[in-house]
């Protein structure tokens, strides 16, 4: 197949959960198919990233990044015009006229079998590729994050922003998913939510996974009573989880086990979070390899309150032989069972109690480790999951043929659903 793939960044430098997923699923496909990868470039890692992509078989087309709302002050200054725009802020900040021009140039000059959109936000470019078969790989049900921000925010400004963006993101996803030929979700619950909310049934499930063998290369050297959280700290869902833990849960743990330490493994922690650093709390910032830091953990905690999708951080902990304590939402979409391969707790008091119990019970931790590893061995190795993408592509083309044959009966796609403009 000849595939045009639209994405934000090149994924070969695997430093986020999204880039890990994208690379592990698509690199095997690049050996069999011609994939033209259109993405932004920004930063000193790009030459290495391009070389690795090309060595894997991708044809790379890069567009310089022009950031919109690249900081909180910029986002707040743009909030008023953004609230009058039909596009959600999260989509507006990723739209680029240069990128749109590159899309139009490619589809004009080349004959592609289908267009793969590697993130829901990039569905904004779908009107530019008609009438090609189209596939969206969703990483989350995006409106959920905004709805949960609205539901959990204490600040009235954030509450209003969450409500406003939730409504716009819902409409954006509804338009994109109803007009695309096929899409994928990362979990059964996400797929069912897409079907029920948006009235579409052309949804495949392509779960997250993990490279199990890579975690066996480094030995576990757990520090006593050492907790870790893994997640990019430039993501609002991870910021909320860490702040919630530090404010509401960690003081309860320290009151009973004052020797406990907590390490946040993830790039770009905001300056406001670094105030928490002390003898008990550390932030690593970006690491070239998180495996060693993860394997120093007695326990990984996942106190997520916002977000959808499924959790790479939990699968990585399972593969690394690290036991996991999570909220139910934090483990949503994974094949987990409380007190078998994971421990679940949702209130601050319950989370703190379960954490102390696990720190004091090495036998229970070992049982969780054994069952967690069994789970990823049987269900979540990337080698089992990567063929699902090619299957989805085949189904996309078949779906497109059926839909095009009844084009007069289908609702007309309207570019007005995706207003392409940049402030």
Query: 118 and 252, same structural domain?
Result: no
- Is residue 35 assigned to a domain? yes
41 found inside a domain: yes
Task: Report yes or no on 149 lying in a domain.
Answer: yes
Both 237 and 335 in a single domain?
yes
Beta bridge partners of 226: 261
Percentage of the residues of the chain whose pLDDT score is greater than 70 = 90
Count of domains for the chain: 2
Rounded Cα distance between 204 and 137, Å, is 9
Instruction: Please indicate, yes or no, whether residues 334 and 217 belong to a single structural domain of this protein.
Output: yes
**Region of poorest pLDDT, from 41-50, 99-108, 159-168, 194-203:** 41-50
> Global pTM?
0.79
In a domain, 422, yes or no: no
Tell me if 17 sits within 8 A of 313, measured CB to CB: yes
pLDDT in tens, 373-389: 999 999 999 999 999 99
209 alpha carbon, distance to own chain's centre? 12
Helix 17-30 and helix 387-405: axis angle, to 10°?
80
Co-location of 25 and 172 in the same domain: yes
Beta bridge pairs of residue 114: 3
64: β partners = 41
Q: What is the CATH number of the domain that holds 227?
A: 3.40.50.2000
Residue 221 and residue 161 share a domain:
no
Domain hosting residue 301, numbered range? 212-379
Residue pair 321/374 in contact (Cβ under 8 Å)? The answer is no
Statement to judge: residues 138 and 235 lie in one domain: no
How far is residue 135's CA from residue 397's CA, in Å, rounded to a whole number? 9
- At 193, the pLDDT band (50, 70, 90 cuts) reads very high
**177 plus 31 within the same structural domain:** yes
Mean per-residue pLDDT of the chain = 89
Distance of CA 63 to the CA centre of its chain: 22
- Which residue from 350, 237, 371, 373 is spatially nearest to 304, judged by alpha carbons? 237
pLDDT higher than 60, residue 309:
no
CA distance 334 to 380: 10
Q: Predicted confidence band at 415 (pLDDT cuts at 50, 70, 90)?
A: very low
DSSP secondary structure of 56-78: TT-EEEEEE---SS-SHHHHHHT
Output the pLDDT for position 413. Answer: 45
**pLDDT 10s digits, 326-363:** 999 999 889 999 999 999 999 999 999 999 999 999 99
Do 296 and 197 lie in one domain? The reply is no
């Amino acid at each position: 197949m000849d595939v045009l793939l639209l994405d934000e960044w090149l994924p070969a430098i695997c430093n986020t959960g999204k880039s890990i997923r994208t690379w592990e699923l698509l690199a095997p496909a690049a050996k069999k198919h011609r994939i033209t990868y259109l993405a932004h470039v920004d930063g000193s890692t790009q030459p290495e990233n391009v070389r690795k992509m090309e060595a894997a078989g991708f044809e790379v087309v890069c567009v310089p990044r022009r950031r919109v709302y690249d900081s909180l002050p910029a986002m707040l200054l743009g909030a008023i015009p953004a609230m009058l725009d039909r596009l959600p802020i999260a989509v507006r900040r990723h739209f680029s006229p240069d990128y749109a021009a590159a899309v139009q140039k490619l589809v004009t000059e080349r004959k592609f079998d289908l267009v793969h959109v590697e993130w829901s936000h990039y569905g904004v470019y779908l009107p530019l590729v008609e009438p090609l078969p189209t596939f969206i790989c969703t990483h989350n049900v995006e409106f959920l994050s905004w709805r949960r921000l609205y539901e959990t925010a204490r600040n009235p400004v954030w509450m209003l922003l969450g409500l406003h963006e939730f409504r716009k993101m819902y409409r954006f996803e509804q338009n994109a998913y109803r007009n695309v030929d096929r899409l994928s979700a990362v979990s059964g619950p996400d797929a069912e939510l897409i079907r029920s909310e948006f009235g579409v049934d052309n949804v495949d499930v392509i779960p997250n996974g993990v490279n199990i063998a890579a975690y066996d290369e480094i030995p576990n050297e757990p520090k006593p009573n050492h907790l870790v959280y893994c997640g990019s700290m430039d993501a609002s869902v991870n910021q909320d989880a860490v702040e919630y833990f530090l404010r509401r849960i960690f003081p309860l743990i320290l009151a009973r086990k004052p020797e406990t330490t907590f390490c946040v493994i993830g790039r770009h922690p905001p300056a406001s979070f670094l105030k928490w650093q002390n003898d008990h709390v550390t932030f690593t910032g970006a690491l070239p390899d998180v495996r060693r830091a993860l394997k120093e953990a007695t326990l990984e905690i996942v106190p997520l309150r916002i977000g959808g999708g499924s959790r790479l951080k939990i699968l990585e902990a399972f593969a690394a032989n690290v036991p996991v304590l999570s909220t139910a939402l934090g483990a949503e979409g994974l094949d987990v069972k409380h007190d078998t391969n994971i421990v679940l707790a949702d209130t601050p008091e319950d989370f703190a109690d379960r954490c102390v119990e696990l720190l004091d019970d090495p036998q229970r931790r070992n049982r969780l480790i054994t069952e967690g590893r069994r789970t990823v061995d049987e269900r979540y190795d990337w080698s089992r999951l990567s063929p699902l993408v090619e299957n989805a592509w085949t189904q996309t083309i078949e779906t497109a043929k059926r839909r095009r044959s009844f084009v007069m009966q289908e609702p007309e796609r309207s570019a007005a659903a995706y207003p392409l403009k940049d402030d």
